[in-house]
Amino acid sequence: MKLIIPEGYKSLLDLKQTEMAIKEVKDFFESSLSSDLKLRRVTAPLFVMRGTGINDDLNGIERPVSFPILDLGNATAEVVQSLAKWKRMMLCDYEIRMNHGIYTDMNALRPDEELDNLHSVYVDQWDWEKVISKEERNLDYLKEIVRRVYSSMVRTEFVIYERYPQIEPLLPENITFFHAEELLEMYPELTPKQREDKVAEQYGAVFVIGIGGEMADGKPHDGRAPDYDDWTTPTVNGYKGLNGDIILWNPILKLAFEVSSMGIRVDKAAMELQLQLRGQEHRSELQFHRRLLNGELPESIGGGIGQSRMCMFFLRKAHIGEIQSSVWPGEMVAHCRKSGILLI
């Protein structure tokens, strides 16, 4: 069992206040993000059909929850793991114009997650996607959008402080950028997670660029599927990758706390290369991949922002189960209860 029990932990909000504050976090942040990025809310699927290439493969080893549909001849549907590729198709199908986009409440099941303070079988995100031009497929534009997303987080933290003054703001005004290769050069003896801990503690909020491709040591900083984020395009600083993670320092758990994965999406050349690097050229025959390779889908940037994780951070909770209702090992439930951590 992987479980962190912070010494002397006591929730700053009771159960009633927590439920009210969860709604306040979600309502304010969603409205702020939508306004800043010009996003329209759309309804998202809970499941998609197997074999279309629409479901997110995450790191390629996680098993999606699946079930047969009687009225479709027992064809198999899969509960989504995220909506990275579905959103890009919707930009096309909904005819979203340049520099506008969509967002949705994404609810997913990931039964292969290792359950701990941060990870649950149930995943809830704001998934968003925005149409961009070919000229905007660059590192400067990625950083601009990251700053806008982060600005919404800073404003949300202040709003919660105004409502619950016992929750004092912690986030720095600005987010700091590092490429994963830079972190490797700075801390070659540490693991990628330990490198994130180092810079997150020092700066409070960082964006780590270039996740998915092999670095100088022959290993990726972390896994990424080959068919949505662009992690191979060279940038002006000589590194590769137009994607990354927003990571905050969590003072309750004392660790780097990822709240968002995002990036500029693959164009035709990047996806062909990334499929080749992963030995998955056969995926080019799937529905999503064909549409992209045929030039039907717009250039885009997008990402996912964890709803429960955001609430967990802003409300200073020690366990994601204090925010969302899910299932946990009996031993974890008992240990949390004994330590004053109430799992919903």
129-182 pLDDT per residue, tens: 999 999 999 999 999 999 999 999 999 999 999 999 999 999 999 999 999 999
Give exposure, 245-265, as e/b (b: 16+ Cβ within 10 Å).
Answer: bbbbbbebbebbbbbbbbbbb
CA distances to 200, 327, 342 from 251, rounded to whole Å, are 10, 25, 19
Residue 81 pLDDT > 90: no
Catalytically active residues, by annotation = 56, 110, 125, 245, 258, 261
CA 66, CA 64: separation in Å to the nearest integer? Answer: 6
Confidence of residue 17 (pLDDT cuts 50, 70, 90): very high
pLDDT band of residue 59 (cuts 50, 70, 90) is low
Domains of the chain: 15-338 (3.30.930.10)
Write down the pLDDT at residue 57.
72
- Global pTM value: 0.94
CA atoms of 49 and 88, how far apart (whole Å): 17
In angstroms, rounded to a whole number, what is the distance separating the alpha carbons of residues 286 and 265? 18
- Give CA–CA dist 206/258, Å, rounded: 10
In the predicted structure, residue 71 carries a pLDDT above the cut 90: yes
How many helices (H) and strands (E) are present in the chain, helices listed first?
9, 11
The pLDDT score that the predictor gives to residue 189 is 97
- Cα 51 from Cα 199, distance rounded (Å): 40
Taking the CA of residue 184 as centre, how many other CA atoms within 13 Å lie in the half-sphere pointing to its CB? 16
- Of the pLDDT bands very low, low, confident and very high (cuts 50, 70, 90), residue 60 is low
The C-alpha atoms of residue 207 and residue 191 are separated, in whole angstroms, by 17
Tens digits of residue pLDDT in 94-136: 999 999 999 999 999 988 889 999 999 999 999 999 999 999 9
